[in-house]
Structures are given as structure tokens and as C-alpha cells.
Chain A
């Protein structure tokens, strides 16, 4: 065997592939971010149940900020509902945060576009400010260690294959959880 080829083969075997193994390609409009710790997210749901993101370590969390007056939010919400139904996983938690609206506004809106979603109520809008989304709607993906790893730019077609595949990949990178929630 050619000694140079032999050396090259040895290097490849020793170092392994130079590309990340099993890394999903990012779907359109989803941006990888540095992995800063997720800000505090402690709110009550529309049903009055308390929620604290700090209690969600160990699995990925899909954190979504929206308001009923925003057109892209209105179009995106049914896609999110379908995405949750299609993924049918307990390994990603879906946390939907309404920004600064009343219970009546939220209830009326969701009844028509996504009746199965129970959102968290950021009634003063201060939690949304703390997360500093680039606009509404906004989605953050928080890893099992509580760090923000991805951010979606504007409304996305979450129920289409690129997004479902991406989220399935994330779901496979976590331990099974005992409960699923879409709040």
C-alpha cells in the first residue's frame, strides 16, 4: 500500500470523522444560539396552575411567546397545535406564554385556533421582557440543562417535516419524562 495513503487512513481512523455525528440540519428560520441560561419563567396557567421552568430540567422545553393581536401568531398557533399532536412525545415540554393579555382575550382566541393549548399568563408582560424575544411570535428551545440552544425567527410551520424531524431529534436526546404538557 502507498505509505501516504496508509498514513492518511490511520489519521482518519484515529481522529474519527471531522463532522458532528447525527447532528440534525436546522430547519428554516431556526437559529442556534450560544447556550445562555434560560431566564426565570414562573407563571400561572390560564387555569390558575403554577408553573416554574426551573422544574423542567432533564428534557427539552419549547417556550413560545405570543399575543392574539399579532397576525403571525394567529397563523402559527394551529400549526403548533398540530405539531404537538403529531410529535406525541413526552420528551419535549411545550410552554406557551401569552404576553400581556387578559384571560377573556386569550380564552376567546384559543377556543377558535388551538383549543387544546393551555397557556401561561404573563399578564404584565414582564416575563416576556426578561426573555427579550426578537418579536412576537417567538420560540426558544431550552435544553435539558436549562440553557437556550435555539431560537426561531418569527412564525414557523412547525407541523411540517423539517421542523418535526428536528424536534424528534431533540426528543431522542433526552431521558423519558413522566408527563407531557402543553401549557
Chain B
């Protein structure tokens, strides 16, 4: 466990420096066949603090507050290419699959409210890429955004491997995840 600590801290630092003052919930992780992955669910207050500090306008922050932020860190610790493809990630509840709010969705929102280009760029770099051929030793981190839900959900993330995607599949499952809520002052 100790060897994971620096990576865990690095991931948290990468994602949201503003989180350092917040309480730290458990961070589930998976390590299998060269894939290392952990997820963390960030509360609306935490995400708002991050984007506010980067000059995002209030109407953008309001939109982001209504969602559920899943921060994911994925790292290829093996010898063959691992394909991160968000189309192969599924967020499952008892009622069925929750569709993530993808880049096209956010482009529509940002167009509607006229988000400045600099903020759009920063927002884009804080999201996980839709697709990435993770080379040996390569990490990637970022957010996946879901509509806010009270229900627990499972993240099932499938990764194809090998240059031509024919090297087999690795499945990572994170069960009983819950969207993080803001802490209520006593």
C-alpha cells in the first residue's frame, strides 16, 4: 500500500489542488495486468472552488454544481499499450446505465452561456480524454462528469490492449460509488 501513496497524492494534486483542505473520502483503486486505476468523487463545493479560482464565471459554476464529478487516474504499468476509451466505460445503477455528460454536451452548454475561450480550454484539459493509447509507463488523469444522482452506481471500465487492440481486455470495476455531497456546517 505504501508504494501507492505517492501516486495517490500525485493524482489528487493533479486533479484539484483546491481539495487539499477538504476531508478525504476513501479512494478505491484497481491494479490488474499492468493497469493501475483509482477514482475519487469530488463534491460540488470542491469543484466549484477549483473552477472559481481559475476565473470561471458564476453561470458556468452553477451548471457544474448540478453534476457529479468522478476524477479518475489511469496508468499503464505494463509492457503493452492499454487503450483508454470512454465509450467502453459504463456507469450502472439499479435503474440502468447513467450517460455521462460528454464534451459535446459541454460544448453546447458553453456555447449557450458564452463561456470565454480560456475557460473552455482549461475545462477541456481537466477532462479525461475520450480516447488514449496509453504507452507503457504513461499516466492520464481527469474528470468524467455524470448527471447528479442519489443512487449508488458501479463504474465498469473496459480497456483493450495491444497496438491493434487485440491483446485482450482488462476490466476494472468500482462498485457502490456515490456522488459526493457538500459538507454541511454543524
Contacts and interface: CB of A to CB of B under 8 A. Distances in A.
Contacts of A100: 117-119, 121-122, 125
Contacts of B129: 134-135
B109 interface: no
A24 interface: no
B139 A154 contact: yes
B17 interface: yes
A29 B138 contact: yes
B58 interface: no
Interface in B102-143: 117-122, 124-126, 129, 132, 135, 137-142
A119 B54 CA distance: 18
Contacts of A29: 137-138
Most central of B13, B17, B125, B129 by chain A CB within 10 Å: B125
Looking at chain A's contact residues, the main secondary structure is loop
Interface range, A side: 20 to 34
Interface in B40-79: 50, 53-55
Given A135-B125, A135-B140, A154-B138, A69 B50 contact: yes
B117 A126 contact: yes
Interface residues of B, number: 29
Nearest to B120: A125
Interface string A123-161: 111101100001110000000000000000110000000
A28 B79 CA distance: 13
Interface stretch (A10-18, A53-61, A70-78): A70-78
B101 interface: no
Contacts, number: 74
Nearest to A135: B140
B125 A99 contact: yes
A153 B84 CA distance: 15
B137 A125 contact: no
B126 to A, nearest CB: 8
Nearest to A153: B138
Contacts of A126: 117, 121
Nearest to A123: B118
Nearest to B16: A69
B121 A125 contact: yes
Contacts of A125: 117-118, 120-122, 124-125
A15 to B, nearest CB: 30
Interface of A: 28-29, 31, 67, 69-72, 74-75, 99-102, 105, 123-126, 128-129, 134-136, 153-154
22 contacts: A28-B137, A70-B125, A71-B10, A71-B17, A72-B13, A100-B121, A101-B122, A102-B55, A123-B118, A124-B121, A125-B117, A125-B118, A125-B120, A125-B122, A125-B125, A128-B125, A129-B121, A134-B129, A134-B132, A134-B138, A153-B138, A154-B138
